[in-house]
Structure 1
Amino acid sequence: MATMNVSLPDGLKEFVETQVGERGYGTSSEFVRDLIRREQARTQLRALLVEGMGSGPGSEMDEAYFQRMRERIRLSGAA
């Protein structure tokens, strides 16, 4: 695993330390890694949304649409 040193103003350092204690992280590194993973996921989701928006018109989300979704879920055994 690579090491990276980050300088923080006192206020941010105190915030990180508080979050570590309140959220059950073992170290500040665990907290920062979690923040980075969440940002990666958010960035990936945004890219997928932009790709979907550019893929053309979607389905009309009327009562029939939701009924088809319910039926697909029921048939899959997930319900």
Structure 2
Amino acid sequence: MASITIRNLDDELKARLRIVAASHGRSMEEEVRVILSQALSVQDKRGGLGSRIHNRFAALGGAEVELPARKTKARAADFDE
């Protein structure tokens, strides 16, 4: 397992963390692990930008767009020009 060190943590923030950890019956280190795990799991459930845009507008029904047939073969982008 990896470990991290947090420098320049405000004294008041550390005191609040200690109180919250004690109220949950955990060490400060365990409390930080729980906080990080919860914060990052919420982000994972939301999905990427495309998924979030789709979910926001899915209830509107979407749109059917007819794509034209490709007439030429796809080519690589040329950034030298």
Mark yes or no: TM-score above 0.5. yes
Q: When you count helix as a share of all residues, which structure comes out higher?
A: 1
Q: Distance in 1 between matches of 2:15 and 2:52?
A: 40
**3-state SS in 2 of match to 1:57:** helix
Amino acid in the other structure paired with 1:43: Q
Specify the structure having the higher radius of gyration (Cα): 2
Contact 2:46 2:52 in 1 (8 A): no
Q: TM-score, normalised by structure 1?
A: 0.58
Instruction: State the partner residue of 1:9.
Output: 10
State whether structure 2 residue 25 is matched by structure 1 residue 24.
yes
TM-score (norm 2): 0.57
- Identical positions, percent: 19
Q: What are structure 1's unaligned runs of at least 5 residues?
A: 60-79
Give the aligned residue type for 2:31: F
Unaligned runs of 5+ in 2: 61-81
Across the aligned residues of Structure 1 and Structure 2, the Cα RMSD in angstroms comes to: 2.6
Cα 1:2/1:58, change in 2 over 3 Å? same
Judging changes above 3 Å, is the alpha-carbon distance between structure 1 residues 52 and 58 closer, same or farther for their aligned structure 2 residues?
Answer: farther
